[in-house]
Structure 1
């Protein structure tokens, strides 16, 4: 479960770099949405991963 949490976190950071940095200005709103979705998934998997061990 911790691998999933780390994976979600890395994808969220990449989405933030592209969305907030202005590199992909046309997809900034999509990147921001993905950023928050993956942050929420990261927190959920982190909580449930701790419970399972």
Structure 2
């Protein structure tokens, strides 16, 4: 769970810097990619936990 929060914070910081600084839009794009990767990671982890043991 701490990895999720760390990646979420990194994505937020990169997105804010990318939008605030002129000419650094690529940081916003990198932040968006990190956010999507973070959400996929959490989805995979939740999917693994949700399956009952046989």
Query: TM above 0.5, one fold?
Result: yes
Which structure is higher in helix share?
1
For the aligned residue pairs, the C-alpha RMSD in angstroms reads 1.5
Give, in whole Å, the separation in 2 of the partners of 1:14 and 1:37: 13
Structure 1 unaligned spans of 5+: none
Question: 1 or 2 for the larger relative contact order (CA 8 Å, sep ≥6)?
Answer: 1
Instruction: Answer with 1 or 2: which has the greater Rg.
Output: 2
Structure 2 unaligned spans of 5+: 50-54
> TM-score when scaled to structure 2?
0.69
- Residue by residue, what CA displacement relative to the aligned partner does 1:15-49 show, whole Å, maximum 9, x if unpaired? 01111122xx24x2221121111111111111012
> TM-score when scaled to structure 1?
0.70
